Amino acid sequence: MSTARVPFVCGNWKLHHGVAATRAQITELVAGLGALGGAVDVAVAPVATCLSVAVDAAQGRLPIAAQNVHFAEKGAFTGEWSVAHLAELGVRYVIVGHSERRAMFGDDDAAVAKKTRAALDGGLLPIACVGETLAEREGGATKAVVGKQVEAILAVVKPDEAVRLTLAYEPVWAIGTGKNATPEQAQDVHAFIRGLLHKHLGEKAAVVRVQYGGSVKPDNAAQLMAQPDVDGALVGGASLEAKSLLAIAAACRR
Ligand code: PEP
């Protein structure tokens, strides 16, 4: 039952907010969390160079997520960082397979699976993203595409690890465009993903949260969350201001 899952909202700050803004926004977020009454989990993913400041400003009250990680433990990978590097900073979650990483940085299904596995092995909680492009949706390939992406991720997750996994369904055509999926479109794909979760993880699948992402805002979050298989949101643009992310989180309470 979806109602057993505590909704989870994560802000993805992408390439925004330097040190000062990270500290200020996180301080404001932490101050606003109490009003949510623990009915929704909230996290935020700052720029990598601000993660340490973010963890410090969060004072253990707001989990911090990284936007990416390399799957290797160490080696000749200039410009990258590992799960262990994130863990030693106190980072809790890591987003893997965001569509911008898939489209611009070569993160294919195999790499996303390796990153998911590395995160689980290193004690981080992966938020693994999937989603179809507009051409794929218009070509009737949404479920084939999303199904392949989800299966690649679930192939490396054991049923006992289900509680540590979050999936995010983010139709690429809805990210940063202002065009969000209708609640019915989101529910249709979320129900499909939940079926795949059940197939791979059995009854343990019930604890996996599936966020929706794509132009979620304070005024559309509640409609999306009213769908039985939508368990929260991964939020880009509307997460940059603490007030807006807190309003979305408030709208996501069940
Ligand atoms: C995202 O980057 O994951 C995202 C959903 O962005 P936006 O909310 O801006 O569409």
Q: Which amino acid is at 129?
A: C
- The rounded Å distance from CA 235 to ligand 1 centre is 5
- The rounded Å distance from CA 215 to ligand 1 centre is 6
pLDDT digits (tens, 9 = 90+) for 29-84: 999 999 999 999 999 999 999 999 999 999 999 999 999 999 999 999 999 999 99
Q: Give the integer Cα–Cα distance in Å for 104 and 228.
A: 33
pLDDT, residue 178, reads: 85
pLDDT band per the 50, 70, 90 thresholds, residue 180? confident
Helix, strand, or coil (residue 212): strand
pTM assigned to the model? 0.97
210: alpha, beta or left? (left if phi > 0; alpha if psi -120 to 50) = beta
Helix, strand, or coil (residue 44): strand
- Residue 17 is among the residues annotated as catalytic for this protein: no
Residue ranges of domains in the chain: 8-251
Helix, strand, or coil (residue 176): coil
Average pLDDT, the chain: 96
Q: Give the integer Cα–Cα distance in Å for 149 and 177.
A: 22
**Starting at the edge strand that comes first in sequence, how are the strands of the sheet with 166-169 ordered?**
41-45, 8-12, 232-235, 209-213, 166-169, 125-130, 93-96, 65-66
> Tokens standing for 216?
């979620």
Q: Which is the catalytic residue, given 17, 70, 85, 98?
A: 98
Q: Which of 13, 179, 219, 235 to mutate to test the pocket of ligand 1 (most atoms within 8 A of CB)?
A: 235
Q: Is the CB of 131 under 6 A from ligand 1?
A: no
All residues at 6 or more sequence positions from 60 whose CB lies less than 8 Å from its CB, including other chains = none
pLDDT digits (tens, 9 = 90+) for 186-244: 999 999 999 999 999 999 999 999 999 999 999 999 999 999 999 999 999 999 999 99
Fold of 8-251: TIM Barrel (3.20.20)
- Residue 170 is among the residues annotated as catalytic for this protein: yes
Ligand 1 atom at minimal distance to the Cα of residue 98: 3
pLDDT, residue 197, reads: 98
pLDDT, residue 50, reads: 98
Q: Is the CB of 170 under 6 A from ligand 1?
A: yes
